[in-house]
Amino acid sequence: MKIRLLVLILCLSSISSVTVSAQEVLAKIGERNITLNELDPQVKAATERLPVEIARLRKSELEKEINKWLFAAEAAALKTTPEKLLEAETAKKRVKPSDEQIKAVYEASRAALGDLSLAEASGRIAAFLIRDQEQQISLAFAERLKQKYKVAPGVDVNAPNLKATDVLATVAGKPIVAANFNERLKPLEYDLRYEAYDLKRQALGQAVFENMILAESTATNSPANEIIQREVSDKMRDFTDQERAKLNQALFDKLRAKHKVQILLTEPDAPVLKISADDDPAKGNQSAPVTIVMFSDFQCPACARTHPVLEEVLKQYLPNKARFVVRDFPLMDLHPQAFRAAEAAAAANVQGKFFEFIDVLYKNQKALDDASLKKYAAEIGLDAKRFEADLASNRFAAEIRKDREDGVNYGIKGTPTIFVNGVRVNELSAEAFKTAIEKALTKK
C-alpha cells in the first residue's frame, strides 16, 4: 500500500557529500535497513547521475570563463567595456521575434504559463526569445574571437587531484587558475548536490513512513489504513492541507520514537562564500559578529513575503549581534519594473529612508511606475524634488548592475537569496533564519 504525505520534515545533520552507493544504509527502523535501492528509481537515477552532472557543469563553466576573458581582451583592445562590446554585437544581429514564433512558444508552454493569455504572456515570451538569440550571438562571437586571441587548453577541469595552481586554460597569454575557478564554482556544485540530497530526503521520508506504518500494523495487529484513519483523518477539524501535514508529522514523530528509527542520510555542507556587503543599505553595527545579506527584487512576491519574516527575527539580534544588508538582484525578465524600483530605493537611501521606502514597495508591487514611486516617496516624507532628481539621474544603475553581477558570481539564480556569514539559507522561514544566525554566533 502506498501512503502519500503532503509534508514530511526530516531533521538531518551535515556532511560534505551526498553521493552514496545503492547499498549504503540511509535509515534504520529497528533492525530493518533502508537503502537507495528501495527508493523511487528516478531518485536513484538522479543520485547516480550526480557525478556526471557535476563534470558537465565544470566543463560548461570553464567555457563560459574562457569566453568572458575573450570579451575582456577584445573590449580592452577597442577601449570599451565587455558589456558595451556585447551589447553592440547583439544589437547588430538580434531581430524582433515574429508573432508566429511567440504563438508557437505559447502553445508549447501552456502548462508552464498557467492561466496567462497569449496577450499577457507575449512580452515574457518575446524577452525569452531575444535572450536566446543574444546567447547564440554571444557564443558565435566568442568562437570568432578564438581565432584572434590564442586559447590554449590546460589541465583537464575534471582531473582527479586538481591542484590550486593548475592552469585550466590560457586566454590571450593569461592563465585561468584552478583555485579561482573552483571558488566560483562552489555554490553551483553545491546546488547540484543539494538538489540530489533533497530528492533523496523526500523519497526517504516516504519510505520510512510506509515502513513504520507496516511495523505498527504488525505490532498492533491493526490494518494500516485504520492507523492512518485513527491518527490523521479522524483528528481533522479544518480539513486543510496544513492541518493534515501537521497530523502526519505528529504520527511520524510518534512512530519514529516507538520503532527506534534512525535517519542516516545527511545534508551536504553549504560552502562558506566571501559575500561582500559592499556599500549597500544596512541596519546594525558594522562590528556585529553576524552579517546577513539579502539579495532582493522589489517586484518579487517571495521577497515581499520573506522580508518582514526576516526583519521580525532580526529584532532579537540587531544592532550588536547582527548586521542586515540589502543588495539588489532585479529579475528584469520576470519583473520589468524591478530595476526602476531598485533605483528608487537607492534614491530614498540618499535621504536615509531606504528601509521605510522598501516596506512600501513590497506592499505595492503592482504599482511601481514612476508616478507611484514618487507618490510613495512623498508619503514617507522624502524631499520630493531631490528624490525626483536622483531618480532621473541614472546615477544608481551601475551599482545595481554590480550587485547583480556579484550575485551571479555567488551562484544566485533567483530571489530572495539570503546569506548568513557567507552561508546561504535554503529554507525561507523564521525558524531557518534563527537557526542560521545562532549557528553563526556559536562559531564566533
Q: How far apart are CA 374 and CA 392, in angstroms?
A: 11
**Mean pLDDT (whole number) for 99-106:** 90
Entry pTM: 0.77
Percent share of the chain, pLDDT over 70: 95
Distances (CA, A) of 387 to 279, 340, 350, 360: 20, 13, 9, 15
Q: Report residue 31's pLDDT band, with 50, 70 and 90 as the boundaries.
A: confident
Q: List, in order, residues 6 or more apart from 283 with CB less than 8 Å away.
A: 314, 318, 319, 323, 324, 355
Q: Give pLDDT, residue 15.
A: 28
Taking 70 as the threshold, does the pLDDT of residue 10 lie above it? no
Taking 70 as the threshold, does the pLDDT of residue 20 lie above it? no
**What is the residue whose three cell numbers read 504563438?**
103
**Mean pLDDT (whole number) for 88-106:** 90
Q: How far apart are CA 331 and CA 329, in angstroms?
A: 6
Q: Give pLDDT, residue 115.
A: 82
* Dihedral angle sign, alpha carbons of residues 191, 195, 196, 197: positive
Residues 387-411: tens digit of each pLDDT: 999 999 989 999 999 999 999 989 8
**Mean pLDDT (whole number) for 80-92:** 91
Q: Report residue 347's pLDDT band, with 50, 70 and 90 as the boundaries.
A: very high
Taking 60 as the threshold, does the pLDDT of residue 16 lie above it? no
According to DSSP, the β-strands at 322-328 and 267-268 are unpaired
Amino acid making up residue 347 = A
Q: Report residue 360's pLDDT band, with 50, 70 and 90 as the boundaries.
A: very high
Q: Give pLDDT, residue 111.
A: 81
Helix (H, G, I), strand (E, B) or coil at 431: helix
Q: Report residue 180's pLDDT band, with 50, 70 and 90 as the boundaries.
A: confident
Q: How far apart are CA 51 and CA 250, in angstroms?
A: 36
Cell matching residue 40: 523511487
Q: List, in order, residues 6 or more apart from 247 with CB less than 8 Å away.
A: 231, 232, 235, 236
Task: List 152's β-bridge partners, or say none.
Answer: 170
According to DSSP, the β-strands at 322-328 and 290-296 are parallel
Q: Give pLDDT, residue 369.
A: 94
Cα dihedral: 345, 432, 183, 43 (round 10): -120
Task: List 435's β-bridge partners, or say none.
Answer: none
Query: For 356, what's the count of Cα atoms within 13 Å in the CB-facing half-sphere?
Result: 14
16 Rama class: left (phi>0) / alpha (psi -120 to 50) / beta = alpha
**R_g of the chain computed on alpha carbons:** 26
Percent share of the chain, pLDDT over 90: 71
Taking 90 as the threshold, does the pLDDT of residue 193 lie above it? yes
Q: Give pLDDT, residue 7.
A: 33
Q: How far apart are CA 68 and CA 85, in angstroms?
A: 12
**Mean pLDDT (whole number) for 333-338:** 88
Long-range (24+ apart) CB contacts under 8 A made by 10-13 are 10/201, 10/204, 10/205, 10/208, 10/263, 10/265, 11/263, 12/201, 12/263, 12/265, 12/266, 12/267, 13/266, 13/267
Q: How far apart are CA 327 and CA 133, in angstroms?
A: 29
Taking 70 as the threshold, does the pLDDT of residue 2 lie above it? no
**What is the residue whose three cell numbers read 552561508?**
423
Window from 36-40, 81-85, 91-95, 109-113 with minimum mean pLDDT: 109-113
Average pLDDT, the chain: 90
Q: Give pLDDT, residue 127.
A: 84
**Mean pLDDT (whole number) for 63-84:** 94
Q: Give pLDDT, residue 17.
A: 36
Cα dihedral: 189, 194, 199, 201 (round 10): 150
* Dihedral angle sign, alpha carbons of residues 283, 287, 290, 293: positive
Quickly list H helices, 239-331.
241-258, 301-314
Is 282-442 a domain of CATH 3.40.30.10? yes
Q: Give pLDDT, residue 444.
A: 61
Count other Cβ atoms within 10 Å, centred on residue 166. 19
Residues 139-165: tens digit of each pLDDT: 999 999 999 999 999 999 999 999 999
**Mean pLDDT (whole number) for 239-253:** 90
Q: Report residue 22's pLDDT band, with 50, 70 and 90 as the boundaries.
A: low
Picking from 158, 206, 145, 178, the residue whose alpha carbon sits closest to that of residue 2 is 206
Taking 70 as the threshold, does the pLDDT of residue 378 lie above it? yes
Helix (H, G, I), strand (E, B) or coil at 419: strand
Taking 70 as the threshold, does the pLDDT of residue 240 lie above it? yes
Q: Give pLDDT, residue 8.
A: 38
Domain ranges (residues) in the chain: 14-33+195-268, 48-187, 282-442
Count other Cβ atoms within 10 Å, centred on residue 345. 24
